[in-house]
Structure 1
Amino acid sequence: MTGALERFSLTGKVALVIGGSSGIGREIALGFRESGARVVAVGKTKAKVDAVVDALRETDTGSAGHAVDVADLAELRRMVDAVTTEHGRIDILVNSQGTTTLKPAEDFAPGDYCRIMDVNLRSVFFASTEVGRGMLSRGQGSIITIASIASFLGFQNTALYTMSKWGVLGMTQALAAEWAGRGVRVNAIAPGFVMTVLNRDKMGAERKENALRRTPMGRFGKTEDLVGAAVFLASDSSSYVTGETIRVDGGYCAAGL
């Protein structure tokens, strides 16, 4: 019988973490390595990718990284092909890429729409299908996308971001239903207010104060708070879990007024 801790092990698995060079994705990449996975981190900025690869290689010299703009689907496909060729397969995919802009809905321009949707939804779907083909051919794999509590709620001044994250929720459920019988699980994690660089720089003082007041745990999330949920969804411990979105939000969505 497999021990409880062994069921959470990622030893022998190859994990591709898109958005793995900063914020939540970086923390998940490092957490996967601690759990035994071989990790390939992807980010847009080469210096950040190199930095996380250096950290990963402290315990696994086979860890790798790619500096890629995944909103460019040709670049995305080339990267997935290169990772598959180099490592033989991809067992786990994490979609942690994301961007946002805060402004009133009536002030968004078509360019804003294309930029946010291209990163937050379009690249997530096509990363999932590009990697998913290989998983489906082997009859196993786990895909995890970083959603948001904005996948469940409407937030002021974030219309496009909120739309994209509701789309991630729908995509998660649709792919899970379609691929479950072929061995591929698709889930998501919805962080609450985690003080990544993205949130810290783009959220004003009043917005932060309101978010903190509404969070029952009385604190903002830390990037490391997401690692446990990600390891669970990537590991054999969640072998009967698909189509789920786990909220890691300090109770924000559970709270009333």
Structure 2
Amino acid sequence: MGLNGLCAVVIGGTSGIGRAIALGFAQAGADVIASSRSEEAVAETASAIEALGRSTIRQTSDVSDRVSLERLLSASVARFAGVDILVNAAGITKREPTLYVSEERWNHIMNINVTGTLRACQVFGKHMIERRKGRIINLASLSTFVAFTEVTAYCCSKAAVGALTRSLAVEWAPYDVLVNAIAPGVFPTALNSKIIDSARGQELKLRTPMSRFGDATELVSAALYLASDATTFTTGQILVVDGGLLASGVNQ
């Protein structure tokens, strides 16, 4: 499942799961552009990619701004001729009782997690359709399938990412653009650090048959499977990497 000769763009690729995937792709032979809103984080991650012997560019982007995504595509194509792989790893969450979630908060989470993913898929998907080849990997969640208390907006956004993934897979299959998603279990990141150390975090660990949290690097092999040219007949799927949590009932 090597990626030699391929170009990957990882949006939200400068921290957490996105960064692990970006570096994993570079180790597998791809040239990788890890992009986010932070110039400092983009520069640091680009240096890490170059240290692995791969090429990159330093280009920020914001999934709430379509023009910035178009600039990211243009800069990537100017440097590498074409983008073969897109990973959508940008996302936000906020814990709050649903009764008190403001429409402003709801819309902001939806704009980043769902509409932001759609924007990136549209911008890069058009490029891939024109080339009649491409791999898109969206970041879903366990909450694509089950509910977690007091994060309703996030759960709904990730359920929508699952539906978006399936819909695009159906529409774009004739162009050999394969669209899939990864649903991580509990992987400690800056986004969920407060949860990890809470009673909720301990309950999640208790309900995970492997009795531990995941490491972000453990998602790389799943991403490689979905990104590789060796994968030619898998589309519209959500690959769960969760240590068995979704499969488990009450086992403690």
Q: Give me the TM-score of the superposition, normalised by structure 2.
A: 0.96
Indicate yes or no: 2:39 matched with 1:58. no
Match of 2:150 in 1: 157
Counterparts of 1:218-237 in structure 2, within 5 Å, are 218-237=211-230
8 A contact 2:180–2:237 mirrored in 1: yes
Q: 1:114-144 CA deviation, whole Å, 9 max, x = no partner?
A: 2111110111011011101111111110000
Match of 1:5 in 2: none
Inter-partner Cα distance in structure 1 for 2:66 and 2:196: 30
Q: 1:184-230 CA deviation, whole Å, 9 max, x = no partner?
A: 00000000111011111355511111111111110001111110000
1:61 Cα shift? 5.5
1:237 Cα shift? 2.6
8 A contact 1:151–1:166 mirrored in 2: yes
Q: Secondary structure at the match of 2:230?
A: helix
Count of residue pairs brought into register by the alignment = 250
Indicate yes or no: 2:36 matched with 1:43. yes
Identity across matched positions, percent: 38
1:175 Cα shift? 0.5
8 A contact 1:19–1:41 mirrored in 2: yes
TM-aligned CA distance change 1:181 to 1:13, over 3 Å: same
Counterparts of 1:20-169 in structure 2, within 5 Å, are 20-60=13-53, 62-169=55-162
1:181 Cα shift? 1.3
Residue type at the aligned position of 2:110: M
Q: Give me the TM-score of the superposition, normalised by structure 1.
A: 0.94
Long gaps (5+) in structure 1: 1-7
Q: 1:10-68 CA deviation, whole Å, 9 max, x = no partner?
A: 00000000010000000000000010000011011111111111110113362123222
RMSD: 1.2
Indicate yes or no: 2:237 matched with 1:255. no
Residue type at the aligned position of 1:167: A
8 A contact 2:32–2:54 mirrored in 1: no
With 74-83 and 19-28 compared, the bigger mean Cα shift is at 74-83
Q: Secondary structure at the match of 2:5?
A: coil
Q: Secondary structure at the match of 1:237?
A: coil
Inter-partner Cα distance in structure 2 for 1:232 and 1:65: 26
1:76 Cα shift? 1.8
With 62-71 and 27-36 compared, the bigger mean Cα shift is at 62-71
